[in-house]
Every structure is written in structure tokens, then in C-alpha cells.
Amino acid sequence: MQIQINGEQREFAQSSIALSELIEKLSLAPQRIAIEVNRQIIRRDEWESTSIKDGDRVEIVQFVGGGNVRQAVNGRQKAGEQMCAFLVIR
């Protein structure tokens, strides 16, 4: 079966897998992560009883450093940075 995990297609031999087993297979530390299956949050105590099937979409998130994150996304962001430099030079 094929499952989409965090936007990536992954192939599994079996036809379904418990969410808790999937976390183990992916070698993820289960603390302080959250999981959505087909956009529904699956609570930690339901990981074992939730089975993931072909075509399911799984999102697994964690925390990373950030304040208010300024992401350099594309050329427009660059242009913004240059304009910023102009503003600073008075």
C-alpha cells in the first residue's frame, strides 16, 4: 500500500499498519509530536487502535525554533530585504 506522510509517498508491504507501529518504523520519538490522519488529529491514546490504510494522508509535526519566523521564500522576499536595507540607511 501507499501512504502519504508529510507530503511524501511511502510504500509499505502490508495492507494496513497501526499508527503506533508506523511511528516506530519511522524511528520517531513519540514524545511531543502530534499526528493527523486525513486531516483529523489522532490523540496519543488512539495511536494503537488507529490503522493506516492505502491512500491515507498522514501529517506528523514537532516543534522547532522560531519567534516570528521570517522565511526566505522567493525573489519577492529578497526584494523586501533590499528595500529594508534602503530604509535603514538614513
Partner 1 sequence: MSTPATALTDQFKVAGKAFNSRLIIGTGKYRSYDEMKAAHRSSGAEMVTVAVRRVPLDHSSESFLDHLDPALQILPNTAGCYTAEEAIRTARLAREALATEWIKLEVIGDQTTLFPDNEQTLEAARTLVKEGFIVLPYFTDDLIVAKKLLDAGCPAVMPLAAPIGSGLGVQNPTNLRIMREQLPDATIIVDAGVGTASDATIAMELGADAVLMNTAIAEAQDPPKMAEAMKLAIEAGRLAYLSGRMGKRLYASASSPLGGVVR
Q: Which is nearer to partner 1, 15 or 90 (CB)?
A: 90
Please choose, from the candidates 19, 25, 26, the residue with its C-alpha nearest in 3D space to the C-alpha of residue 46.
Answer: 19
Q: Please pick, from the candidates 48, 54, 55, 80, the single residue that binds partner 1 as defined by CB under 8 A.
A: 80
Give the binding-site size for partner 1 (rule: CB under 8 A).
41
Spatial distance between the Cα atoms of 72 and 87, rounded to a whole number of angstroms = 19
Neighbour tally for 58: CB within 10 Å: 21
Q: Which residues bind partner 1 (CB under 8 A)?
A: 5-8, 10, 26-29, 31-36, 39, 41, 43-44, 59-71, 73-74, 76-77, 79-80, 84, 87-88
